[in-house]
Amino acid sequence: MRYYAALIYFFLYAPIALIVGFSFNSGRYAMDWQGFSLAWYGKAFSNPLIVKALGTSITIAGSTAFLSAIIGTLTALGLERVTGKLRHLFDAFLYIAIMVPGIVIGISTLIAFVTLFNIVNPYLMAAWNWKIEMGVWTVVAAHVLFNIAVVCLLVRARLTGMDRSLVEASEDLYATPFGTFRQVVLPLLTPSILAGFLLAFTFSFEDFIIAFFVAGPNVTLPIYVFSSIRRGVTPEINAVGTVVLLTSLVLLAVAQAILQRSNRTLKTSKTVPQA
């Protein structure tokens, strides 16, 4: 059983190690080891196409994470205050947004944007001789759609675990509702909002399929990697891949650490009144 588990970990991590390993290959082909070298990192990050794609991806992921963190938190707070049909409706939306495969989100957002453009562009052309098109913002909008759900679920988990007596104490001490929110609720929610921000950043940064549909002429890093893989495997992709994989593993580890630490403090703060 122990060996089986070890084998599974090997199965899961060996391919990742392979990408990292061959990024240090001095040869021209992936899988054909010629010796250690950092040359491909230098080559990759002096390639203007890669640098531009990286910039685009960071812009998209940063904006997505920022917007999702805010809207997701607002939604979680709002859903605390409603019951019945409206709540079920939003629950259904949240699960659909998370469950539906990326390709369906890609198609439906593509169609939504194109339909919108067809309606408004004639007017925009007539009025200002300008029209809206696919771009970074369309990718951000599509990414925010499913990352709202990610942040919202994290924040709601935290809200349910929260000690209501803290809010009541604050109200008893004549804090305004907004005061209670700012001084009691928000600090308690911060870890899960932060973790949600990091997850949203990671998901957006790595997404290929949605961006493939709605990025228009823009090239994100995953789109660049996808098209270069189709041309053949080179250590340059491994170098870019290593940076992407390590970035996301670090961000995930940080998010996980934040969540675990905040769960511990939540538990200790709960035991205090009993002591």
Partner 1 sequence: MTDSQHSRGVTALLLVPAGVFFFFLLILPMAVVLVFSFGDRADTGGYAPAFTFDNYLNLPARSKAFVNTLTLAPLGTLLTALFAYPMAYFLAVKVSPQWRVTMLVLVMAPFWTSQLLRYYAWIMILGAKGIPNWLSMIGITDVRLINTPWAVLIGAVYGFLPLMVPPIYVSLEKLDKRLLEASADLGATPWKSFLQVTLPLSLPGVATGSMLVFILLMGDYILPQFLGGGKVYFIGNALVDLFLQSRNWPFGAAVSVALVIIMFVTIFFYMRFVLGKSGQRRVALV
Give the shortest CB-129-to-partner 1 separation in angstroms. Answer: 23
Cβ proximity to partner 1: between 16 and 169 the closer is 16
User: Which of 51, 233 has the CB closer to partner 1?
Assistant: 233
- Residue 77 beta carbon to partner 1: minimum distance, rounded to whole angstroms: 5
Q: Return the HEC string of the chain.
A: CHHHHHHHHHHHHHHHHHHHHHCCECCCCCCCCCCECCHHHHHHCCCHHHHHHHHHHHHHHHHHHHHHHHHHHHHHHHHHCCCCHHHHHHHHHHHHHHHCCHHHHHHHHHHHHHHHHHHHHHHHHHHHCCCCCCCHHHHHHHHHHHHHHHHHHHHHHHHHHCCHHHHHHHHHCCCCHHHHHHHHHHHHHHHHHHHHHHHHHHHHHHCCHHHHHHCCCCCCHHHHHHHHHHHCCCHHHHHHHHHHHHHHHHHHHHHHHHHHHHHHHHHHHHHCCCC
Q: How far is the CB of 79 from partner 1 (least distance, A)?
A: 7
Min CB(241)–partner 1 separation in Å: 4
CB of 54 to partner 1, least distance (A): 14
Minimum CB distance to partner 1, residue 249 (Å): 6
Residue 184: CB minimum distance to partner 1, A: 17
| Nearer CB in complex with partner 1: 110/219 | 110
Q: For partner 1, give the closer residue by CB, 125 or 249.
A: 249
| Cβ proximity to partner 1, 86 vs 120, nearer residue | 86
Q: Give 57 or 188: the residue with its C-beta nearer to partner 1.
A: 57
32 vs 133, beta carbon nearer partner 1: 32
Q: Are 248 and 205 within 8 A, CB to CB? A: yes
Q: Say which residues have a Cβ less than 8 Å from residue 173's Cβ, sequence separation at least 6.
A: none
